[in-house]
């Protein structure tokens, strides 16, 4: 069973968290380069955090999916970054649980699609713990409420990842107590005909985000069959 270092960074600037991920990724891939593509003592991380208001655009995303001008960013107390993950545009902000798994898939499986499906499965199981029924939509990465109803389907968790030498970074954004008004400034993930929701919106009450984290860590550990080690940054 692989051991994964867990770190909760709390409310952290997106740029700081991005650079922190890059630092870890660079360390792992450098070790692999020096050891014929393998880590003798494998390192894996799972990072949880929240971000101040920010919009991020994936490397293949369409800038037209950001619906406000630069001059309006200050009014929304938001920042904007073009980044090196897959996927289109999304929003991060307080009340949203962002997860950054940095896993060396050489020690799990060589299948990025399977990796995404496992992440989705963990989110779905966690939501079930809170009496929220969720599922998947074929050919649309993410976790959805009412996935079988094209008109009612709404996304509760978005995904966007990068993989280098089979080491992952970036990850998922789960709307827990998220201010959904910020999604009005974008076409989320470039999908025009689907709404966005949150756990709070579905249940009508504010969630204890620490309880959400505890449940999600358990399901991630079970699905990926790893052991979490709690370590401060």
Structural domain total, the chain: 1
Q: Give the pLDDT score at 230.
A: 84
Q: Give the pLDDT score at 231.
A: 72
Spatial distance between the Cα atoms of 8 and 50, rounded to a whole number of angstroms: 9
Q: Give the pLDDT score at 77.
A: 86
Is 189 assigned a catalytic role?
Answer: yes
CB 58 within 8 A of CB 20: no
Q: What is the largest CA-CA distance in the chain?
A: 53
With pLDDT > 70 as the criterion, what percentage of the chain qualifies? 99
Q: Is 54 helix (H, G, I), strand (E, B) or coil?
A: strand
What is the CB-side half-sphere exposure of residue 14 using CA atoms within 13 A?
24
The continuous run of DSSP H or E covering 221 comes out as: helix 209-224
Mean pLDDT of 56-76: 86
Spatial distance between the Cα atoms of 31 and 19, rounded to a whole number of angstroms: 18
Sheet of strand 54-57: strand arrangement? 79-82, 54-57, 89-92
Please, what is the end-to-end C-alpha distance for the chain in angstroms? 23
- In this model, does residue 74 exceed pLDDT 90? no
Q: Give the pLDDT score at 94.
A: 97
Range of the domain at 16: 2-230
For position 187, which CATH number holds?
3.30.930.10
């Amino acid at each position: 069973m692989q051991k994964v270092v867990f770190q909760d960074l709390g409310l952290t600037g997106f740029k700081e968290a991005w650079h922190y991920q890059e630092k870890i990724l660079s360390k792992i891939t450098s070790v692999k380069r020096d050891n014929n593509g393998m880590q003798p003592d494998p390192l894996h991380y799972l990072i949880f955090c929240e971000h101040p208001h920010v919009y991020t655009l994936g490397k293949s995303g369409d800038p037209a999916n950001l619906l406000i001008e630069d001059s309006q960013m200050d009014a929304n107390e938001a920042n904007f970054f073009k980044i090196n993950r897959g996927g289109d545009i999304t929003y991060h902000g307080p009340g949203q649980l962002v997860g950054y798994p940095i896993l060396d898939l050489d020690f799990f499986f060589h299948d990025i699609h399977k990796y995404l499906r496992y992440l989705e499965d963990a989110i779905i199981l966690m939501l079930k713990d809170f009496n929220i029924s969720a599922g998947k939509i074929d050919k649309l990465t993410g976790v959805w409420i009412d996935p079988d109803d094209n008109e009612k389907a709404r996304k509760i968790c978005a995904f966007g990842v990068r993989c280098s030498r089979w080491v992952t970074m970036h990850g998922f954004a789960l709307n827990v107590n998220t201010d959904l008004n910020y999604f009005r400034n974008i076409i989320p993930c470039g999908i025009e005909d689907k709404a966005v929701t949150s756990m709070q919106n579905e249940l009508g009450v504010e969630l204890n985000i620490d309880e959400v984290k505890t449940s999600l860590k358990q399901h991630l550990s079970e699905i990926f069959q790893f052991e979490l080690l709690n370590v401060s940054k």
